[in-house]
Structure 1
Amino acid sequence: MASIVDAGTTGSRTAPAAGPSRRRPPRSLAWLGIVPFFAFALLFLIGPTVYLVFGAFQTPSGALTFDNIIGLFTPQIMAAYSISIQVSLASAAFGALVGFFIAYAIVHGGLPGGIRPTVVTFAGVASNFAGIPLAFAFLATLGRLGLVTLFLKDTFGINIYTLGFNLLSFWGLTITYLYFQIPLMVLIITPALDGLKKEWSEASEILGASRWQYWRMVGLPVLTPSILGCFLLLFANSFGAIATAYALTGSSLNIVPILLYAQIRGDVLYNPNLGYALAFGMIVITGCSNVLYLWLRARAERWRQ
């Protein structure tokens, strides 16, 4: 009797389970939604970039050459890169500093609840306001016959141009760039400020630390990668801007984007392949800053976790 039970038990263990055969799940078509993105990136980002890189190492006839790259080290082009880097560094530094304090005020400043949506909405609009409209707005405000210029002159007797200010100069372009640099900093650093855990502040207070000690020993060290990453992103953002600078200063300020435009579309300095080399140099500089930004952002996210 026991052998019969054992045999039945063994048979029940080894018998395959009856049921319908498994079918492969149907393939998802969700990936079709990103096809337009990749098509757009290929046509307007990857394709032109590859074309510029190859053009930087070619002559007008298509022969391979390094003369265009060597031409980047001429005094005029090196001066253009120097001015562009200085403008980008200045606008990125001031934009990061002012934008950080604005973001801190709306996140941890105890302001009314309706202030933050208003500031963030304006920052989203202002960070994309550039080009000819922005240049015209600053000319109408701080130009020689601008609204603020005439107001200061007629009301207080202060002529900012007599004091040395010039909108069509290094500092004039830097101030103009701040219009979109500061809002961009607000948009980027606000999530990082939101990521500071309230428990950290409470723990520091329990241990007897002051507000300044909390920010010096906890808050700022945690935010440092995010702040540096935002600074690099602002640098890359201003380094590649051309429409605002060209509409505001024309050819009076020798920066790389204006010199590049003159080499590709100009009548006197027409040399497209040298222009491609200028663009290649800009790609290298902005690419390095973006890579560092991504690395710092990943580091900041890991710290907050």
Structure 2
Amino acid sequence: MASISTTARPPSMAISGKRFIDWLGVLPFMLFAALFLIIPTLYLIVGAFLTPDGRFTLQNIVDLFTPTILSAYWISIRVSVASALGGALIGFFLAWAVVLGGLPPWVRSTLMTFSGVASNFAGVPLAFAFIATLGRTGLVTIFLREWFGFNLYSTGFNLLSFFGLTITYMYFQIPLMVLILTPALDGIKKEWREAASILGASNAQYWRMVAFPILWPSLLGTTLLLFANAFGAIATAYALTGSSLNIVPILLYAQIRGDVLHNANLGYALALGMIVITGLSNFLYLVLRMRAERWQK
């Protein structure tokens, strides 16, 4: 009777095969990140220090400090800060209401579903929606004038302005704040409130001495993320204001694609400045998020 011998694969070979499959699974993401993030970023950085004929120069960096470009950066920073603070404040209270406010469960599920959609609603559709709603012939504008005799634009309001762009940005900033902050509020343990109550702390003292110090890294980190989110937005601003509001993304678009302004290398320098600002903001967000996660473990 012939015997059948079987040979088992060494554990090291099995582990190596599993690791190969794991790396193969993330390969599409790595290729996507390299083609659409890493290589374009390196191309922008190199181009910021070159002349149109390929020679090294620092003139593009020096030109960033001209009054027009500094003004564009300042307006972009103001819009980003205003929309981030407004989105963070309103988003915090919305998230607090559905997580800790005792509202029915269906309110939370509805808000989270809406936030998931609204946080990605931007660009030309969002600009058109606000023009159709708050423009000079928008639905709300006409409703207020015809039914209440209130002319919104007689107060100095202008949708195609700093204030109008800030309100428009807050449409996707508030839902993003809700989505990111809700898990942090879920992480607040009931035992902390109970312990504070046993020790005689009031509700205000609990929030001031326990809850807010724990939530502060999440609040500040998410606000920084909202700032970076608004600072790099261009489609909504361009579709809403055109070139009437001089912000950095629109100025960058004019330098690279425009018919009048066309200095691609200066555009690369503008993009480099945006990368530095948003990169610093995102780095601080990651640091604060890691600190918040450490507190909630």
TM-score by length of 2: 0.95
State the match for 1:240 in structure 2. 232
- Please tell me whether residue 293 in structure 1 is matched to residue 270 in structure 2: no
> 1-side partners of 2:182 and 2:29: how far apart?
27
**Higher-Rg member (1/2):** 1
1:23-43 per-residue CA deviation (whole Å, 9 max, x = no partner) reads 234221122110000000000
1:130-178 per-residue CA deviation (whole Å, 9 max, x = no partner) reads 0000000000000000000000011111111111000000000000000
- Please tell me whether residue 39 in structure 1 is matched to residue 64 in structure 2: no
Equivalent position to 2:180, from 155, 179, 188: 188
> 2-side partners of 1:114 and 1:244: how far apart?
31
Cα offset, 1:21, TM superposition? 8.8
> 1-side partners of 2:23 and 2:188: how far apart?
35
State the match for 2:207 in structure 1. 215
1:231-261 per-residue CA deviation (whole Å, 9 max, x = no partner) reads 0000000000000000000000000000000
Equivalent position to 2:135, from 143, 165, 168: 143
RMSD: 1.1
> 1-side partners of 2:232 and 2:181: how far apart?
21
State the match for 1:172 in structure 2. 164
Equivalent position to 2:112, from 113, 117, 120: 120
Equivalent pairs: percent with the same residue?
71
State the match for 1:63 in structure 2. 55
SS of residue paired to 2:152: coil
Cα offset, 1:201, TM superposition? 0.6
1:25-84 per-residue CA deviation (whole Å, 9 max, x = no partner) reads 422112211000000000000010000000000000010000000000000000000000
SS of residue paired to 2:233: coil
Which shifted more, 295-304 or 164-173? 295-304
- Please tell me whether residue 111 in structure 1 is matched to residue 103 in structure 2: yes
Cα offset, 1:117, TM superposition? 1.1
- Please tell me whether residue 84 in structure 1 is matched to residue 64 in structure 2: no
Letter in 1 for 2:69: I
Letter in 2 for 1:187: L
> 1-side partners of 2:145 and 2:200: how far apart?
53
Letter in 2 for 1:43: L
- Please tell me whether residue 96 in structure 1 is matched to residue 94 in structure 2: no
Letter in 2 for 1:185: M
Aligned residues: 286
State the match for 1:205 in structure 2. 197
- Please tell me whether residue 154 in structure 1 is matched to residue 149 in structure 2: no
TM-score by length of 1: 0.92
Which shifted more, 236-245 or 197-206? 197-206
How do 1:274-289 residues align onto structure 2 when only pairs under 5 Å count? 274-289=266-281
Segments of structure 2 that go 5 or more residues without pairing to the other structure are: 1-6
> 2-side partners of 1:219 and 1:56: how far apart?
45
Cα offset, 1:114, TM superposition? 1.1
SS of residue paired to 1:162: helix
Cα offset, 1:267, TM superposition? 1.0
Cα offset, 1:214, TM superposition? 0.7
Equivalent position to 2:221, from 229, 250, 254: 229
> 2-side partners of 1:22 and 1:264: how far apart?
58
Cα offset, 1:87, TM superposition? 0.2
